[in-house]
């Protein structure tokens, strides 16, 4: 086999199904446990998980003991050379024809945990369609896109403490919202999702030192699906002048499997057309986006669906901008892409846009919806497709529980 060629098939038969999210070309990392055992690192292959802690113990792979940890941070902190050598070794032992004994666990018997200890969480606003659509609803068409939007990535510093793994229920929040004659205390009436990709920073940067976009590319370990749950009525009342606060702190769901930058590399592509040249510190030396189908379902019904290549700023540009004034980045930093929306309603990544602020209800399994009701389940999906295989992200789901208040409210 010529250097650089990847074996196309795995010894794990289910990984060779063309519709499988986890073929040998993917090898996403996560943290899992089985009945009576502690959480440790694993890699998804077909309908199995390769127990990386056990694999390292058996001498099958070398990662300085980091796979025994209940999060991926320690492995990620080993750096790019370790990422590459472990990926190469995993490809070798999982390939069709390899015969070494493997500690494989059926995924159906495993509980999946948060794959990283989220060090910090920042969320951006990088789809021009989304920024324009939401801007129209909040401020009207004249002021929809703020003047700086096509010049710099806009974001807010979110909460790492409320990031949860797929499958964790989300409680509808109680909050102060705007009533007819003044503020009222109410359960959120406009609960929404945001379809996003989360980039995981794998290499730290130094305080006071800016990183370039090409350097930022080298700092990204991989990506997860990310649902930035949003309380729109809370957001509308609180967001000026400092941006979203409690409307975004109720919970952020991420998928349990981290799809590596290496697995997505064959799908690298350009993003949205630039409205104007960017300042040099935001310029890319190669395309920073991926040809990645991404969408969401509600109670099992297909809703919005678009492609990550509609985005205006890449994760590397967002990361570079994040260090503009010297902010240090750390291993386990999570950067939300911003809601991913195409131009038409069936390509939108939030109900706010899909229903035009609640004016145009959509039908979901025979029921009308403007925003998310109690008991509704939102699932995100994403995959990149090639000949005979696809790089999938697996599930990213959350169900809404009814609001609950303190007895003294």
Q: Applying CB under 5 A, which residues contact Mn ion?
A: 123, 194, 228
For residue 295, count CB atoms less than 10 angstroms from its CB and return exposed for 0-12, middle for 13-18, buried for 19 or more: buried
The rounded Cα 56 to chain-centroid distance in angstroms is 28
Q: How far is the CB of 252 from Mn ion (least distance, A)?
A: 8
Confirm if 328 and 335 have CB atoms less than 8 A apart: no
**Choice between 228 and 333, CB closer to Mn ion:** 228
Q: How far is the CB of 123 from Mn ion (least distance, A)?
A: 4
The Cα 127–Cα 349 span in angstroms is: 10
**Choice between 217 and 228, CB closer to Mn ion:** 228
**Choice between 248 and 369, CB closer to Mn ion:** 248
Instruction: Write out the catalytic residue numbers.
Output: 130
> Angle at CA 26, nearest 5°, toward 122 and 340?
35
The Cα 145–Cα 136 span in angstroms is: 8
Q: How far is the CB of 160 from Mn ion (least distance, A)?
A: 15
Q: How far is the CB of 341 from Mn ion (least distance, A)?
A: 11
Q: How far is the CB of 232 from Mn ion (least distance, A)?
A: 12
**Choice between 28 and 336, CB closer to Mn ion:** 336
Longest dimension (CA), the chain: 73
Q: How far is the CB of 242 from Mn ion (least distance, A)?
A: 16
The rounded Cα 120 to chain-centroid distance in angstroms is 14
**Choice between 90 and 197, CB closer to Mn ion:** 197
The Cα 166–Cα 144 span in angstroms is: 33
Q: State which residue has the least CB distance to Mn ion.
A: 228
For residue 296, count CB atoms less than 10 angstroms from its CB and return exposed for 0-12, middle for 13-18, buried for 19 or more: buried
**Choice between 123 and 284, CB closer to Mn ion:** 123
**Choice between 25 and 252, CB closer to Mn ion:** 252
**Residue 82 to residues 78, 118, 201, 356, 402, Cα–Cα distance (Å):** 6, 21, 15, 47, 45
The Cα 227–Cα 396 span in angstroms is: 8
Q: How far is the CB of 166 from Mn ion (least distance, A)?
A: 17
């Amino acid at each position: 086999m010529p250097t650089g060629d990847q074996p196309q098939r795995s010894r794990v038969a289910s990984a060779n199904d063309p519709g499988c999210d986890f073929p040998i070309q993917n090898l996403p990392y996560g943290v899992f446990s089985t009945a009576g055992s502690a959480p440790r690192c694993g890699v998804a292959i077909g309908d199995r998980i390769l127990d990386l802690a056990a694999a390292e113990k058996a001498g099958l792979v070398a990662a300085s003991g980091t796979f025994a940890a209940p999060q991926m941070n320690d492995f990620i902190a080993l750096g790019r050379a370790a990422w590459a050598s472990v990926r190469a070794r995993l490809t070798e032992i999982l390939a069709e024809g390899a015969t070494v004994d493997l500690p494989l666990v059926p995924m159906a018997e495993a509980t999946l945990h948060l794959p990283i200890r989220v060090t910090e969480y920042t969320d951006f606003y990088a789809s021009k369609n989304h920024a324009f659509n939401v801007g129209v609803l909040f401020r009207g068409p004249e002021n929809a896109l703020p003047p700086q939007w096509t010049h710099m990535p806009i974001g807010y510093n979110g909460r790492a403490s409320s990031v949860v793994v797929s499958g964790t229920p989300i409680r509808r929040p109680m909050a102060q919202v705007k009533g007819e004659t003044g503020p009222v205390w109410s359960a959120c009436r406009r609960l929404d999702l945001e379809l996003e990709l989360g980039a995981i920073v794998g290499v730290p940067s130094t305080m006071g030192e800016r990183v370039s976009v090409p350097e930022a590319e080298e700092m990204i370990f991989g990506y997860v699906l990310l649902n930035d749950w949003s309380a729109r009525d809370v957001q509308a009342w609180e967001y000026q002048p400092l941006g979203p606060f409690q409307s975004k702190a109720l919970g952020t769901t991420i998928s349990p499997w981290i799809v590596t930058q290496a697995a997505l590399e064959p799908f690298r592509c350009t993003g949205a057309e630039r409205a104007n040249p960017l300042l040099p510190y935001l310029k890319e030396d190669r395309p920073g986006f991926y040809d990645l189908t991404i969408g969401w379902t509600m109670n099992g019904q297909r809703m919005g669906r678009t492609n990550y290549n509609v985005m205006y700023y890449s994760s590397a540009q967002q990361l570079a901008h994040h260090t503009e004034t010297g902010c240090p980045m750390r291993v386990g930093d999570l950067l939300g892409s911003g809601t991913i929306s195409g131009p038409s309603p069936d390509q939108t990544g939030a109900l706010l846009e899909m229903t035009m602020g609640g004016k145009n209800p959509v039908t979901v399994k025979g029921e009308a919806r403007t925003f998310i009701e109690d008991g509704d389940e939102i699932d995100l999906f994403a995959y990149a497709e090639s000949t005979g295989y696809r790089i999938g992200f697996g599930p990213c789901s959350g169900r809404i529980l009814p609001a609950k208040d303190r007895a003294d409210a």
